[in-house]
Amino acid sequence: MLVFLGFYLAIHEYFPENLIKTIFNIKFLGRLDSQLELLCSSLSTRVQVRLMELNRAVCLECPEYQIPWFHDRFCQQHYNKDTGSLNGAQQQIYKMLAEVLGGMNCVKASVLTPYYHTIDFECILDKRKKPLPYGSHNTTLGKMPEMHWEPNTPRVGSRLPPGTERIALEFLDLRAFCKNVPHLKGKSAMKKRHLEILGYRVIQIPHFEWNSMVLSTKGARMDYLRECIFGDGKS
């Protein structure tokens, strides 16, 4: 199916214009809707998710194609059903981030971007690398308030003070890597690209680093997080 072909090419940063414009054509999408009605629910949902992910990738990586983003309603329905939860390692990281950054109000968990990427943790540093506490602009799974982002995104209007830095921290478990090789899979690499386009500095925390002997103590893990965020091993 063309949708799957387009998606797998997009993972590898390849966006053939003819293929993309064939897929995001009203006639093609109309035929696709008719075909989806004949498929079982699980396969239909899989196709719809891949179409959404391709739509998102094209909007972010190939804005010159002028393909509109038209999956807001689908994503809102999808994420309203999946409120998400933190696993054991993520809970550890969340608590330690709160200590490193100076409080629970300086870090957010399970954040959604305007294009519905789920970010494990988000924090914001001012121009002096001091953590900024969050106000009422909380953005979590299942709740989509108004969002404001940096000027290099299609959704303009950031209300962050000048010089601030938005940071996304991602815990990468086994599923993010190729089997038996510490090589990042395509979807995780694509997500990193997208978050950077959206104005984030992306910090990836591989499971094999977090669970290593070097980081076997709380103090070592706290220093690791400080180094990742502040770059100098201290806050």
Q: Rounded distance, CA 28 to CA 161, Å?
A: 44
Mean pLDDT value of segment 210-225:
96
Say which residue the tokens 């387009």 belong to. Answer: 6
- Asked whether residue 216 carries a pLDDT value surpassing 60, the answer given is yes
Say which residue the tokens 């000048």 belong to. Answer: 162
Mean pLDDT value of segment 69-88:
80
Segments making up each domain of the chain, as ranges:
2-70, 88-230
Mean pLDDT value of segment 172-195:
92
Mean pLDDT value of segment 78-104:
84
147 phi/psi in degrees, rounded to 5: -120, 150
Q: Judge contact between 69 and 55, C-beta under 8 A.
A: yes
The tokens of 36 are what? Answer: 């989806």
Q: Quick one: which of 61, 57, 60, 32 has its CA closest to 46?
A: 32
DSSP state of 68: P
Question: What is the side-by-side order of every strand in the sheet holding 118-125?
Answer: 108-112, 118-125, 165-172, 200-206
Q: Rounded distance, CA 175 to CA 166, Å?
A: 25
pTM of the prediction?
Answer: 0.85
Burial class (CB in 10 A: 0-12, 13-18, 19+), 119: buried
117 phi/psi in degrees, rounded to 5: -75, 140
Residue 232 pLDDT: 60
Compare 88 and 22 and report the one with higher pLDDT: 22
Q: Extract the runs of DSSP E, i.e. beta strands, from the chain.
A: 108-112, 118-125, 165-172, 200-206
Mean pLDDT value of segment 1-19:
96
- Asked whether residue 158 carries a pLDDT value surpassing 70, the answer given is no
Q: Quick one: which of 92, 90, 130 has its CA closest to 111?
A: 90
